[in-house]
Structure 1
């Protein structure tokens, strides 16, 4: 572990912007467009209602947990068996999160930039980078996020501004062409990304103090903007039906962005954005898996991280085709993600309501 002061709250927010932002800004956009088409942006706006409830639950739980490790706090509140089940469920969840992020990133690299490079080569290199970050620890991840994020944000504003000439905001209307059903289904998919604000509870043990109400709301607004911005951009640039059949709409926005008269394409900048988010997200997931079972830096912790990383590589190359993965993602992964995080948040909220005696027994 790097011997540095604890991460600041700003660094924690920047880490969550990369970790959760890659889902909201990239992964979830194709699913939203396929489910709700033109009305996808309305789904995101309606998702504010359940998202606000989620923020309230997280704030309440955070005020009770403080900077205690979440598994230890659950064990103190609910007992060993519930805590063990909690750890198993979250370990599996973050393993799937890491696998999903690795698979989608490797597939994007193959489809867009390296069509003749074997998937296994790309997967090993990317996983090695993420493993190094996980072995260095959360301090290194937060510091790296603070370095990477400013340019990611600048590039995001750049592609949005450069593409203004290609945008037709009339394409956002008319609304409800296919009724309310697709819109309400889209709310679930929007919540799948927004609910990942829950991840902040796993960052708090590394901070001097948890995020306060104002800081949490600022982070929530940023995550909401990271979903709504590229989604509306894809609709007004390509029209909702064309955007819905694109595999990576956020990347396609880079394909039409140029720089002056002599540079017609700047899509290579998307590599920096995408890999920054994916590497931080996968490293974050690996660290949380290790935190569930082994607290301090040790050989056992390193062995666990290496084992998980080695297992993820073949799973990201040989288990599913891209078509199968996309079907799995839209039909199962995103809905399950929303329901699972909502359920776990309710568990943590319920644990926060439990009164404890001075001897540590729950009532």
Structure 2
């Protein structure tokens, strides 16, 4: 059986959640909380420690049993199918929102005259090909891509130090406390999405012995991923200008120069962005047939090609980036927040319930 260890899974999680925090959440948090965004991001990071302990406890209870078997053995088959229906819908929304946001960004910043389908078709096929293989292939790709993503992140953060004015971080609470608290809905999505490790725990060679420091380490990494670029946007552009930016993380690259003669370094952001989108979409595509325990290669190909076609359709539908942004702000992230909280509560209850039959490790891992 093709398995990976928890350290390899960390690469997948960091790239997937990193794109969510760096790209999709930051503009929403800045618009809602303004200058206070950095403080409430730090507070959310502190609160995430409790979620880290809960996630660790659930992982220890579930061990390496397939999620469907684990839920069915305690909640019944019908209720488990209902949970899986909504879980698959959630994974599909991850695929579609990531694809739409990526193509909109490319059209806005780099390829203004390029038709969206020319961008998304090859990208969707590559993601489908990777997700068709196995989790180890996704982990290997993540391990190759992540070091350069980290190096580039450190490069842009340190390179822009001369442009940073930390006086922009204060005064706080000029608009009261409500907006900052509301922004925690969006920030929390990045932490709650770490539940994804539960979905592929049966693929981990040490799935029944994951260490607490690994889980808490993931929480710390997610905090850095949201707090770093969020604070950077405020101190580099100020609270007013950063609120008006659609892609604050990208604008930080446009600000960076190397010496006197190299002024355009924003092309590095393309590598970071596409790396995160590639892994985020691939792991979501992989998990759908895996959770449904699809064994037929033909059916699996059909599912993945259907998802790829959905990616193409969502990106060529003629609705503006402004409408998409409003959808993310007013509906999607608030909805996913309550969905993930509900799902995690169900997992917590499931971990408490005694199984109806003897637990067995999953032996249906696809090769």
Range into which the TM-score falls when normalised by the shorter chain: over 0.9
Q: Secondary structure at the match of 1:316?
A: helix
Aligned residue in 2 for 1:215: 214
CA shift digits 1:66-85 (9 cap, x unpaired): 12221221111111011101
Q: Which moved more, 1:219-228 or 1:63-72?
A: 63-72
Q: CA–CA distance in 1 between the matches of 2:304 and 2:25?
A: 27
Q: Offset at 1:267?
A: 0.6
Q: Offset at 1:62?
A: 0.6
Does 1:156 find its partner at 2:153?
yes
Aligned residue in 2 for 1:136: 133
**Counterpart selection for 2:175 from 166, 173, 178:** 178
**Counterpart selection for 1:39 from 36, 40, 46:** 36
Q: Any residues of structure 2 matched to 1:1-363 within 5 Å, and which?
A: 6-210=3-207, 211-296=210-295, 298-318=297-317, 320-358=319-357
Please say if residues 12 and 203 of structure 1, whose CA atoms lie closer than 8 Å, have aligned partners that are also in contact: no
Q: Offset at 1:357?
A: 4.7
Query: Which TM-score applies when normalising by structure 1?
Result: 0.95
Task: Give the unaligned 5+ runs of structure 1.
Answer: none
Please say if residues 163 and 256 of structure 1, whose CA atoms lie closer than 8 Å, have aligned partners that are also in contact: yes
Q: 1:286 to 1:358 in 2, by over 3 A?
A: closer
Please say if residues 55 and 215 of structure 2, whose CA atoms lie closer than 8 Å, have aligned partners that are also in contact: no
Moved over 4 A (4+): 357-360
Q: CA–CA distance in 1 between the matches of 2:94 and 2:358?
A: 37
Task: Give the unaligned 5+ runs of structure 2.
Answer: 360-367
Q: Offset at 1:296?
A: 3.2
Q: Secondary structure at the match of 2:279?
A: helix
Q: CA–CA distance in 1 between the matches of 2:181 and 2:51?
A: 18
Q: CA–CA distance in 1 between the matches of 2:238 and 2:47?
A: 28
CA shift digits 1:242-266 (9 cap, x unpaired): 0111110000000011223321111
Query: Which TM-score applies when normalising by structure 2?
Result: 0.94
Please say if residues 189 and 335 of structure 1, whose CA atoms lie closer than 8 Å, have aligned partners that are also in contact: yes
CA shift digits 1:274-296 (9 cap, x unpaired): 00000100011111111222343
CA shift digits 1:51-99 (9 cap, x unpaired): 2332222111111111222122111111101110111010000000110
Q: CA–CA distance in 2 between the matches of 1:40 and 1:19?
A: 22
Q: Offset at 1:202?
A: 1.7
Q: Which moved more, 1:304-313 or 1:321-330?
A: 304-313
Q: 1:334 to 1:70 in 2, by over 3 A?
A: same
Q: CA–CA distance in 1 between the matches of 2:276 and 2:6?
A: 19
Q: Offset at 1:49?
A: 4.9
Q: 1:175 to 1:327 in 2, by over 3 A?
A: same
Q: Offset at 1:50?
A: 4.1
How many residue pairs align between the two structures?
A: 357
RMSD between aligned residues = 1.4
Please say if residues 24 and 194 of structure 1, whose CA atoms lie closer than 8 Å, have aligned partners that are also in contact: no
Q: Offset at 1:322?
A: 0.7
Please say if residues 133 and 140 of structure 1, whose CA atoms lie closer than 8 Å, have aligned partners that are also in contact: yes
Q: CA–CA distance in 2 between the matches of 1:316 and 1:73?
A: 36
